[in-house]
Structure 1
Amino acid sequence: MTAAIVWFRRDLRLADNPALRHALERHERVLPVYIHAPDEEAPWAPGGAARWWLHHSLEALSAALARAGAPLLLRQGPSLRQLRELARTVDASAVYWNRLYEPALIARDQAVKQALREDGLTAESFNAALLAEPWQLKTGNGDPYRVFTPYWRNAGARLPQRPPPLPAVRKLSPVARAPRGLPLKELGLLPDIRWDGGLRDTWIPGEAGAWKRLEQYCDEAAANYKEERDLPALEATSRLSPHLHFGEISPGQIVAWLRRLAAEDARHGMVANVDHYIRELGWREFSHHLLYHYPYTPLQPLNPKFESFPWRKPRDYAADLRAWQRGRTGVPIVDAGMRQLWHTGWMHNRVRMIVASFLTKNLLIPWQEGAHWFWDTLVDADLANNTQGWQWTAGSGADAAPYFRVFNPVLQSGKFDKDGVYLRHWVPELKKLPDDMLHAPWLAKIAAPAPYDEPIVDLARSRERALLAYADIKNG
């Protein structure tokens, strides 16, 4: 009886999983396996928050696969060695997996595929993570896109031709004698010091958790997404990003679900909000397009002019960086966002832009420092999205924010958190201040409540300093 190995990575679901479906349809027995090999992802192995999510997502996937009849086998890398050993042990004739798009993993997977084929095995990979492969879309000149609007005009036009999501796999036949695997706890994904209480209170990792989150969003927020998505005090965004990153739900599933919702509720507002949300998924696609074509960008600016940008030196900014990381900058909206990040492993997107602008422009700290901190603290830490977001704010990336755009955190806070609900939740030291003093307490006629300090930098003067630095780059 023919057997196949399905190599799970960040496709931790049973529905709309082409590698798993392919194995089920072509082989009599299936061995699902997850191989923990963080060294192969260097220098972008998962950070602490992402490892926490991975542990619980693997736990959920293992239970789902066991119910389907073929339990998940856990191993520890190197991946090729483990796959070869497993193929010999269970007499598998094929190995299937769904593609990843980070530069180190593309190289790893290409080497694995070639080696397995040289061993006489069938080795095939599939697209389970994106609406369009990064290499499928090109400008009229045959170049990669570097501006979002024309990219999405091309990508969005292809959506109606997408096939429907694959149904969930309900029953699998396991291999006759399963090899020995590792207990999940031996992968060492959970923190030794339990700082993860906020994560446990906020999230339900796993495929079922992803669908619960999507359904909650559709019930409570989808109809007002376009108008309310920038308001951090509201549950107005889907918060599906970590579920998407770990492949607990696919973008194709989300698009199909939302389009059906809009068709059932023909109000123009619902249709417009659904289309606007799907466009936001397009930014995720665009980020993967950029990372694929410009694989150096997680560490280097896309715009080469920024190689000579006059960032401050580490010895000069170390204290300011630490204050930013801890949410102790003295700027309420910045501190609120950084504390939300530390407690929940997530930050509202509008606030992400504000804290990133403050770091790179008001503090003149290199965007790579912010990207590394986000990488370790975000449950949705995704190399493509993280890189694009930081380069966009710094002004050095594709479709970047204009160099002269320096977010004023006080104005941003007053506009998007007018009543201070978000600020009072995450910066409780200030909760008794009146609304007109809350966003810039250092300007109040009364002293800010202890122990809240004044800003670590003068916003107006630091803005001018940033504009001078960016002007030099623009003219250089």
Structure 2
Amino acid sequence: MSRRSPARVELFFKDICDLKERVRFLDSHGFCSYNLVNKNKADALNDWVQAIREVSPNANICCHYSLKYNKVPRKGPKEQEERLLSALQLSRANEVLIISGSGQKTAWNTVSALEAVKSASLPHSVPLLAVAYNPYFPEKQDQEEENHRLKEKLESGCITKVYLQFGSDLDRLRNGLEYLHKLKASKSFSIAGSLFLPTAQLISQQKFRPWNGVFLSQEFLSGPENAKAVLHEMVNQYRTNNVEILWEAPGIRTEKDVKLVLELTGAVDAEKHKGSLTSSVNANNSPQQKRLKISDNFHLSRRSKEPCLLIFGNHDVRIRDNRSLEAATSAHETVLPVFLWTVEDRGYVTGAVQVVLKDALRSLNSSLESFNLSLACFNCPDNDNHGVTTIKEITEKLGAKAVFWNRECTTEGRDRDSKRKAALESYGISVIESQSSLLYDPDKMDLTSGFHGGHWGTLMPFLKQCKMKFGEPIRPTPYHDTFGLLQSVQSPTYPKTSSIDDLNMARISGKQLWDEPIRKRFPMNEKLALEAMESFCRSGLKSYEQERSRADKEGATGCLSHHLRIGTLSPNQLYWRIEDSGLSYDKVKTFSRRLFWRDLAYYQLACFPNMRYKCIRSHYEDLEWVIGEEEKRRFNAWKRGKTGFPIVDAAMRELYETGWITQSLRMVVASFLVEYLRVNWTKGCEWFHYTLVDADSAINPMMWQNAGKSGTDQWNFILSPTTASQDPSGNYTRRWVPELSKLSTAALVHRPWEATEEQLESAGIVLGETYPHRIIRDLKAERNRSVDATLEMRRRSQQFNSDRGYDLIHLPNGDTTVVFTKKEYRLDSNGQLFKDDDLRQITRQKMSGNKAKLKSKRNAKAKSLKL
């Protein structure tokens, strides 16, 4: 290096000789500012300073002074002050960084030390003083306390520099720098920021034994390439804010280290850095590691100066790993983020989903504002067909010629997107669509009819086809790439937009504000989504396989479905976090497959657009259910949690109050409604669609179709409403059905009708008054009626019956295929239930026929080869 480096280096050495050798090496490369760490009260800091100056006379040296390590044992504040003041007067350094250390603050801390310095009237020859500041605390309260402490330190009037501790959260770094600049309006000080060389050794150490007070993201810890890219963005932040860089210990020791430092700081100018946004993304192109290349379709150097619109939907409310956002910010210098709320949206985004969506939009706007962008919200008029007129008006006022959005792969979303696109393109506006809410694009998937390692529309054939056709899901786009893109765009000013609170969404009136418990339990925020994912993958994932059905155990499930539904978390982020967990396949397979179930639901919806209302097995529309007043009585009791079956009632009460229940409980209450109460599954589907915070137009009807026996699959089990295996302790039911909480055993909590009169009286229960009688008394008889109704319907629909008694359905391409049918519903051509011997004989004949066909193909192939 020919010029002197402005960066500082923290020195780590064995002895004086090693120290001098290191300084010679660094001096030869242009470094001349050093920090000396104080890890022991016996540290000979002045001797070290002298040794450095023998090699580099003009070196600028900062000595750390640890209040913890220099504390006088069993002495009061007076003795501590004397030691500090003496050390400052004797110090030969240019600066002294006073550090109190992480952990609980004591009476002798940095604030009290600075007060002592202020009162001491020290000579001007003492070194300049600096303090440390950590902007990376994950908890808001901890960060507020840290901010307050810094303000107290600066009020002493002794501080000339603030050292930022190391972390990797770019948003928190930016917030911290904004706070420091606010303080600089009244206080004069410079800023230095810590960086570490992103070596594999350091990352491994921090991953498994992190230092106190150092907060590093999973992205940074995933490997040197990602860590390096994060550091690129940190360097950009430091440059923008005139922050001096400190390379912390073990520091810069070799030529390779110097080369890396030049790559990260000295040799990378702003334009080169913009062009390197995808360098870490494309570092490994193996199928298992592939990621979306931001530069596949757009290049930062060719960005258009024309503004564009970036439309967010109700399914992609995030900035991280958002394909459409990446495409828009890669292609245009000016981007207007937009959210449209139309009459069509209000028709299917209802109830609890509106509550969490509104909260998520507030968080999205806050995130965008931190990049000097703003979410422009519009209440579209009722006569504005899918918001087309509103979009056209916005583009005309801005002079925009391009609109970006992520496709919503629902029936309603397809209809909206196709109409918007056709209309906008007719006006000469380009529409760029992406897909960012599923692992795979359902429009590119095709399952042929027949049996392929599993019945059509079931998980394993779908999963195998996805992996065979598309490979592994793509890696999520690293946040540092997105951060860099957002830092480099601007937002145009657009008048007359609505605020999020002005949207005709989740407006709750009346005395009972039913949205409050939902908002309290499910705050919608990208950071919270990532933290919840990280927490579950670190602690809950390893026991998920065994405990996922437990409703009485906190953390037994991931509770991430609402984040996936609204899009505050991307499925790719979750998939790869599971894959990178280091847990064995047996530990993660079920949870990981949940994401493929999710994609499967959307594929089914693409094939059967009306499956929320119409049976996929079309002949099941003729299935007999209870009707009239009896249906109303049963359904209302189920909805309100007053069926007299405690586990069902507990789940339905939790659902109504908070908008969520575990998957196992959803299956319990769905099975109870259709198999025992014999109420049409579409009723339950609509109630869930209104009450669930994760109500999904694909997943919800898929589950209810399968529960109602009319989907591509049938539940090959019946969940008992009395054994309540989901709540063996009874604690879950006691919480949500407090009327029964005083019963002495879990068995009685789940079956209070088995309690004696004395037990009921002791628990303060009067069945029929304080808690309802069972809505149906004979579960077995009701279940038999359900089976009989299904068999009668199938006998009337023999044309939909295969030779083995399975249901047949018509696919969109005109083919007919077999779908799984429970054994108790399989009928022969005479309408009689198959016997086991009959089924075995048919199976043998089919296998024999398949072998004969295979042999014939082989013979034909051999013959053609000879020819």
Coarse TM-score class (shorter-chain normalised): over 0.9
- Specify whether residues 23 and 302 from structure 1 end up closer, same or farther in structure 2 by C-alpha distance, changes over 3 A only: same
Q: How far apart, CA to CA, are the structure 1 residues paired with 2:718 and 2:603? A: 26
Look up the equivalent residue of 2:567 and give its one-letter code.
G
SS of the aligned residue for 1:249 comes to coil
Query: Is the CA contact (8 Å cut-off) linking 1:356 and 1:390 kept in structure 2?
Result: yes
Larger displacement relative to structure 2 (453-462 or 92-101)? 453-462
Note the 1:390-469 alignment, pairs <5 A: 390-402=704-716, 405-411=717-723, 413=724, 415-433=725-743, 434-446=745-757, 448=760, 449-450=765-766, 451-458=770-777, 459-469=779-789
2:632 equivalent in structure 1: 318
Instruction: Answer whether contact 1:94 1:121 (CA < 8 A) is retained.
Output: yes
Please state if 1:7 is matched with 2:318: no
Match of 1:203, as an amino acid?
A: F
Q: When you count helix as a share of all residues, which structure comes out higher? A: 1
Q: Larger Rg: 1 or 2?
A: 2
How far off is 1:209 after superposition? 2.1
Q: Which residue of 1 aligns with 2:362?
A: 59
* 1:91 and 2:399 matched: yes
- 2:457–2:713 contact (8 Å) kept in structure 1: yes
2:677 aligns with: 363
Opposite residue 350 of structure 2, the aligned amino acid is: G
Secondary structure at the residue paired with 1:120? coil
The answer to whether the Cα contact below 8 Å between 1:251 and 1:281 also exists between their aligned partners in 2 is yes
1:379-426 deviation per Cα after TM superposition (whole angstroms, max 9, x unaligned):
000010110011111111011224xx4422112x0x222111211111
Q: Distance in 2 between matches of 1:105 and 1:55?
A: 19
1:109 pairs with 2:414: no
Q: Any idea what the Cα deviations from partners look like across 1:260-318, whole Å, max 9, x if unmatched?
A: 222xxxx53xx422232111111111111101110111101111121111111133211
Deviation at 1:158, TM superposition (A): 6.0
Partner of 2:665: 351
CA contact (8 A) 1:199 1:345 kept: yes
Q: Within 5 Å, which residues of 2 pair with 1:24-423?
A: 24-37=329-342, 39-41=343-345, 44-77=347-380, 78=384, 79-141=387-449, 145-156=456-467, 161-168=472-479, 169-170=482-483, 171=487, 173-190=489-506, 191-193=508-510, 194-234=513-553, 235-262=555-582, 267-268=583-584, 271-402=585-716, 405-411=717-723, 413=724, 415-423=725-733
Moved more, 437-446 or 293-302: 437-446
- The counterpart of 2:790, out of the listed 466, 470, 475, is 470
**Given residue 312 of structure 2, which amino acid in structure 1 is its aligned partner?**
F
- Bigger drift between 241-250 and 173-182 goes to 173-182
CA distance in 2, matches of 1:176, 1:440: 63
Q: Deviations over 1:337-386 (max 9, x none)?
A: 10110121001111111111111121111111111111111100001011
Please state how far the C-alpha of 1:323 moved relative to its aligned partner. 1.0
Aligned AA for 1:16? D
Contact 1:30 1:172 in 2 (8 A): no
Q: Is the 8 A contact 1:90 1:175 kept in 2?
A: no
TM-score, with structure 2 as normaliser: 0.52
Q: For 2:747, give the aligned amino acid.
A: D
Shift, 1:29, TM fit = 0.3
Deviations 1:195-243 (A, max 9, x none): 1232133112121221122122123311111111111112211111111
Report the AA paired with residue 177 of structure 1.
Answer: T
Amino acid at match of 2:792: D
- Give, in angstroms, the shift of residue 140 of structure 1: 4.4
Structure-1-length-normalised TM-score: 0.93
Identify the range of structure 1 (155-164 vs 330-339) with the bigger mean alpha-carbon deviation: 155-164
Q: Is the 8 A contact 2:356 2:693 kept in 1?
A: yes
Q: Unpaired runs of 5+ in structure 2? A: 1-304, 797-867
Q: Which residue type is aligned with residue 348 of structure 1? A: T
1:320 is displaced (CA, Å) by 1.7
Moved over 6 A (4+): none
Go from structure 1 to structure 2 and tell me whether the alpha carbon gap of 1:454 and 1:172 turns closer, same or farther (over 3 Å shift): farther
Alignment identity in percent?
29
Query: Higher relative CO (CA 8 A, sep ≥ 6), structure 1 or 2?
Result: 1
How many Å separate the matches in 2 of 1:286 and 1:389? 11
Residue 160 (structure 1) shift: 5.0
1:335 maps to amino acid: D
Q: Which runs of 5+ in 1 are unaligned?
A: none
CA distance in 2, matches of 1:182, 1:98: 22
Q: CA deviation at 1:81?
A: 0.9
8 Å contact from structure 2 (residues 379, 504) kept in 1: no
SS at match of 1:410: coil
- In structure 2, distance between residues paired with 1:142 and 1:184: 49
Deviations 1:8-62 (A, max 9, x none): 002111111111111111111000000001x2247x5222211111110000000
1:313 and 1:292 map into 2 onto residues whose CA distance is 31
Once residues 312 and 141 of structure 1 are traced to their aligned partners in structure 2, the CA distance between those partners, rounded to angstroms, is 34
Q: 1:154 to 1:98 in 2, by over 3 A?
A: same
Partners of 1:306 and 1:473 within 8 A in 2: yes
Distance 1:460 1:332 in 2: 18
Cα-Cα RMSD? 1.9
For 2:774 and 2:570, locate their aligned partners in 1 and report how far apart those are by CA, in whole Å: 42
Distance (whole Å) between structure 2 residues aligned to residue 329 and residue 239 of structure 1:
26
Whether the aligned pair in 1 keeps the contact of 2:329 and 2:335 (CA below 8 Å) is: yes
Contact 2:355-2:519 within 8 A present in 1 as well: no
SS state at 1:333 partner: helix
| Cα separation, partners in 2 of 1:11 and 1:440, compared to 1, 3 Å | same
> Structure 2 vs 1, CA of residues 134 and 5 (structure 1 numbering), >3 Å: closer, same or farther?
same
Structure 1 residue 139, shift from structure 2 partner? 2.8
- Relative distance call for 1:177 and 1:468 in structure 2 (3 A) is same
Secondary structure, counterpart of 1:84 in structure 2? helix
Q: Is the 8 A contact 2:307 2:492 kept in 1?
A: no
Matches of 2:322 and 2:390, distance apart in 1:
22
Contact 1:138 1:145 (C-alpha < 8 Å) held by counterparts: no
Once residues 617 and 624 of structure 2 are traced to their aligned partners in structure 1, the CA distance between those partners, rounded to angstroms, is 15
Secondary structure of the corresponding residue to residue 712 of structure 2: coil
More deviation, 144-153/301-310: 144-153
The answer on whether the counterparts of 1:4 and 1:23 sit within 8 Å (CA) in structure 2 is yes
Q: Name the CA distance, whole Å, in 2 between partners of 1:233 and 1:27.
A: 51
Q: 1:351 to 1:33 in 2, by over 3 A?
A: same
Please give the secondary structure, in 1, of the residue aligned with 2:675: helix
> How many residue pairs are counted as aligned between the two chains?
464
Structure-2 separation of matches of 1:319 and 1:347:
23
Tell me the CA shift for residue 319 of structure 1. 1.9
- Given the superposition, is the C-alpha separation of residues 442 and 172 from structure 1 closer, same or farther in structure 2, using an over 3 Å criterion? farther
Q: Is the 8 A contact 2:449 2:456 kept in 1?
A: no
Change (3 A) 1:157 1:198: farther
Residue identity in the other structure for 2:326: R
State the partner residue of 2:326.
21
